[in-house]
């Protein structure tokens, strides 16, 4: 397991901030490379998100979406997220009762006190979830150390905690599609972010990144899905 314990980056993050200045300081649009880094900073700075899943085919609500607030911790340098999942939760049941274990996780900038919350950044990370049941106690301890930096209150329900009110498991969301809305499109990037760019954008804006053929078609496909296939 390529696990990275990223204590020092927490400090770095607050210093880095987002790569794009506020709208009134800005005369150019957020680039794809900046968007990838800004999305990483967003997922690090904002500690809760919304986990979306789909009801499995054996339920009354088969195929219908479900979304609920969840905690995440950005414990992997490539952007995969650490989650604590409880079998009792509807999200967990939906994810693991569906083949592929797909989920989407979205994180948004806080909007309190902001005149137009639509101007704030948000990102949707799509992928699949794997439970980490066979990890060593030292790996589990590393996860616990990372996760509790972001969520000190979670110490009461960490996997393996005998006093926890519910059974819980470490899990990892691996990302295979990303859709980002930086804010208003005149100055912010809106669209797909290639996963490989996201994976290496934790510590800074990647210069000279070229969208590869494959990523470009993915980019266009997601945008077309969202723009053209929606009829009102
Ligand atoms: C990130 O790392 C995890 C854990 O090693 C791996 O499962 C996942 O595929 C990686 N994702 C990317 C985009 O490299
Ligand atoms: C539900 O999904 C499972 C797994 O894909 C499949 O084997 C089964 O046939 C499906 N059942 C129905 C009623 O569609
Ligand atoms: C998640 O998706 C990757 C490919 O994107 C696949 O290799 C892996 O087996 C999937 N994991 C699960 C738990 O379905």
Q: What is the mean pLDDT of residues 181-193?
A: 95
Residue with tokens 């490539």: 78
Per cent of the chain over pLDDT 90 is 73
* All structural domains of the chain: 7-227 (2.30.110.10)
- 199 C-alpha to ligand 1 centroid (Å): 8
Q: What integer best gives the mean pLDDT of the chain?
A: 87
Q: What is the pTM of this model?
A: 0.84
List, chain by chain if needed, residues with CB within 6 Å of any ligand 2 atom.
57, 99
143 touches 161 (CB < 8 A): no
Top mutation candidate among 54, 57, 93, 101 for ligand 2, by most atoms within 8 Å of CB: 57
Q: How confident is the model at residue 10 (pLDDT cuts 50, 70, 90)?
A: very low
Phi-psi region of 213 (alpha: psi -120 to 50; beta: other; left: phi over 0): alpha
Tell me the chain's radius of gyration from C-alpha atoms.
Answer: 18
* pLDDT tens figures, 90-125: 999 999 999 999 999 999 999 999 999 999 999 999
Task: Give pLDDT tens digits for 118-171.
Answer: 999 999 999 999 999 999 999 999 999 999 999 999 999 999 877 777 889 999
Q: Which residue has the higher pLDDT, 219 or 207?
A: 207
Closest among 40, 7, 27 to 178, alpha carbons compared: 40
Residue 177 Cα, ligand 3 centroid: separation in angstroms? 13
Is-contact 128 173, C-beta < 8 A?
yes
**Ligand 2 atom nearest residue 57's Cα:** 1
């Amino acid at each position: 397991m390529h696990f990275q314990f990223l204590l020092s980056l927490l400090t770095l993050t607050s210093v880095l901030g987002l790569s794009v200045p506020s709208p009134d300081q800005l005369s150019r649009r957020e680039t794809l490379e900046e968007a990838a880094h800004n999305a990483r900073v967003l997922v690090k700075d904002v500690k809760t998100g919304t986990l979306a899943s789909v009801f499995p085919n054996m339920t009354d609500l088969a195929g219908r979406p479900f979304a609920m607030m969840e905690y995440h911790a950005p414990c992997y340098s490539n952007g995969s997220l650490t989650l604590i999942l409880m079998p009792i939760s509807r999200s967990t049941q939906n994810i693991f009762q569906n083949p592929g274990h797909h989920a989407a996780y979205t994180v948004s900038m806080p909007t309190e006190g902001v005149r137009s919350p639509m101007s704030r950044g948000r990102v949707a990370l799509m992928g699949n979830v794997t439970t980490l049941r066979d990890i060593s106690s030292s790996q589990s301890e590393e996860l616990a150390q990372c996760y509790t930096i972001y969520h000190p209150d979670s110490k009461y329900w960490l996997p393996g905690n005998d006093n926890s009110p519910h059974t819980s498991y470490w899990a990892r969301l691996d990302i295979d599609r990303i859709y980002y809305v930086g804010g208003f499109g005149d100055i912010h990037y809106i669209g797909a972010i290639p996963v490989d760019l996201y994976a290496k954008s934790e510590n800074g804006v990647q210069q000279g990144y070229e969208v590869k053929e494959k990523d470009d078609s993915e980019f266009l496909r997601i945008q077309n899905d969202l723009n053209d296939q929606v009829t009102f």
